[in-house]
Amino acid sequence: MNHKLLFLIACLIAPLLMQAQKTVEITPFGGYVFASRMSGADGYVRFVDNAQYGGMLSVGVSRVFDLDLIYNRIDTKAQVNLTSYPYQESPLSINYMNIGFTKNFRVNPTVSPFIGFSMGACLMAPKNGNSYDYWFFDVGLSGGAKVYFGKHFGLRLQAQMYVPMQAAGYTFYFGTGGYSSGVSVYSTMIQFGFTGGLIFRLGHVPDANSTRVRY
């Protein structure tokens, strides 16, 4: 499985990063995602609201920026409403495998609000045997706060949004007036939810007095 490969890579690079005097945060999380819908020319597919879970590995590249590896899984049902096919309901898993960054606003040694951005691959894998897996490029946004109970433990609370891209295109024009180009993406689906998870801090963890940053 692709998410197993992602976490294998994370486990291999984590000791190297800790030796390089980096702060590493490992956060298993769980939460809830609201229902969403993906529209098309022939109808739409509705994804039922459900639980979500996963984990992330965050490496502190500076005092306020983290590099993140994220895996998020949603086990749900797809309700297919197409004019050319009868109504169907199929169980499937939606898997987000992203890399991104978190910007931390360390207002004091205990509470750290943050915002995050990520991008990567979204795998929609039906659980019945006669359907194909579907891959999408996706982007993600998050925001919330980290609450630290000590140097090595904390709690991450966040709201998040994932947007799988249904289509993408590239245009190029050349003529007497010059040339132009552009890239466009298209999506009708947004998955919004909330998660919470325990933070385990490893590697070089700064002292409480050194985590305060002024802006």
Encode 47-57: b = buried (16+ Cβ within 10 Å), e = exposed.
Answer: bebeebebbbb
- Please name which of 101, 140, 144 lies closest in space to residue 122, comparing C-alpha atoms: 140
Contacts 24+ apart (CB under 8 A), 175-178: none
121 touches 70 (CB < 8 A): no
Burial of 197 (0-12, 13-18, 19+ CB in 10 A): buried
**Full pLDDT tens readout for the chain, 215 residues:** 455 555 555 565 555 555 556 788 999 999 999 998 887 767 788 899 999 999 999 988 888 899 999 999 999 998 888 776 777 788 889 999 999 999 999 888 889 999 999 999 999 888 876 667 888 889 999 999 999 988 889 999 999 999 988 654 443 344 344 444 343 344 568 899 999 999 998 876 666 544 444 33
Q: What is 2-210's CATH number?
A: 2.40.160.20
Sorted by where each begins, the domain ranges of the chain are 2-210
The amino acid at 54: G
Whole-number pLDDT of residue 211? 45
**Model confidence, pTM:** 0.79
69 touches 54 (CB < 8 A): no
Q: How far apart are CA 154 and CA 198, in angstroms?
A: 6
